[in-house]
Structure 1
């Protein structure tokens, strides 16, 4: 199974035969259920992962235990799950959990580091990946600073709708709150206002987007 999956790596065509064999021997797949903790700095480095199925989210936790999502990964996306997600200059701790039942392809830290040192294409991939994650972090901070709660919620719902290719989203208010860095009570009040404006309809664990055009207008 793994030998075929190695070809999904963007830098695969630029690996030597020896490097390909080395990765084939050392890569493995990991399975997680929704809510499982995949990575925490306390557990040490994990490595470079590719999401084969499902999704994961990376988040920060405040001293009060409040979680704020900084980026999410879906099928076909990569992340370096090492100390602070491979960004050694960042001093806060990032944790990663399964947001859905998921399957990950893992290239352990020491294995990736060896090939990265020897192959400029792998090095470039690592740097680009680090910049993508930094960009996601900055975008998250910008939303927290410059968008009000209604705008952040609208942005999140529209993004989920696009990713899931559905206007009906099976989400709990607690899940939404953690993903946009807010309190569940505040999310509940905002959803109620959106419902009154006929932008959405709300059921038990389910939200249906009724007027995406006006939801996008909230972000202008």
Structure 2
């Protein structure tokens, strides 16, 4: 087993010898440059993907062009949509894009299903990751359906601003992250700027009053 992979996924060092052999023989490590489309909405799933390093953004794009980020797959994680497709023999219902250069371990579908059937340790990893991500998605649905966009935007800005308070994101980037329209984000940012909580720049938002944003975030 690849040493870097074993360090990132120590759960697999506890596989029984035969399962470990299946994993080692079938898996391969790949490197994907930033911007690579790893899978497309509607495409078939041929591999189980485990991210060793980097970040994959999984997003849904509506027919009108609106986008929402569902989640990210980062070091030590797997993709719940991939798991779902492999188990159900279905197609992807969203797309995955490499946000950074990504190093990943690719396990063909046949080997994935073999290990799922024979290895309790492998099953525990797969379904624990699946359950955790489903919880995240349910929280996202709740936030999008019931959460106030001004509160959600304030919380997002606070979470992602560090050091000098600068966030390199366009209004469209923020709209995609929060599952709303760019015009809604632009209007809300203008209101935050009017309150002297942020300063808007081209392609960048500068947080200048964390207490103000915090008071809004904590108001509900």
**TM-score bracket for the superposition, by shorter chain length:** 0.7 to 0.9
- Return the offset for 1:84: 4.8
Aligned match of 2:43: 43
- Return the offset for 1:32: 3.1
Give the conservation status (yes or no) of the 8 Å contact 2:44–2:92.
no
- Return the offset for 1:80: 4.1
Which is higher, the Rg of structure 1 or of structure 2?
2
Q: Secondary structure at the match of 1:152?
A: helix
Matched, 1:6 2:25: no
Q: Which runs of 5+ in 2 are unaligned?
A: none
Give the conservation status (yes or no) of the 8 Å contact 1:28–1:107.
yes
- Return the offset for 1:129: 1.3
My pick for the range that moved more, 183-192 or 202-211, is 202-211
Give the conservation status (yes or no) of the 8 Å contact 2:48–2:109.
yes
TM-score w.r.t. the length of structure 2 is 0.83
Aligned match of 1:139: 139
Aligned match of 2:190: 192
**How many residues are aligned here?**
217
Give the conservation status (yes or no) of the 8 Å contact 2:197–2:213.
yes
Give CA deviations for 1:143-172 in whole Å, capped at 9, x if unaligned: 11221221222232233347xx77322112
Give 4+ residue runs of structure 1 displaced > 4 Å after superposition: 83-88
- Return the offset for 1:120: 0.8
- Measured on the aligned residues, the alpha-carbon RMSD in Å equals 2.8
Give CA deviations for 1:60-90 in whole Å, capped at 9, x if unaligned: 22222221111122333322453755674x9
TM-score w.r.t. the length of structure 1 is 0.83
* Equivalent-residue separation in structure 2 for 1:177 and 1:216 (angstroms): 20
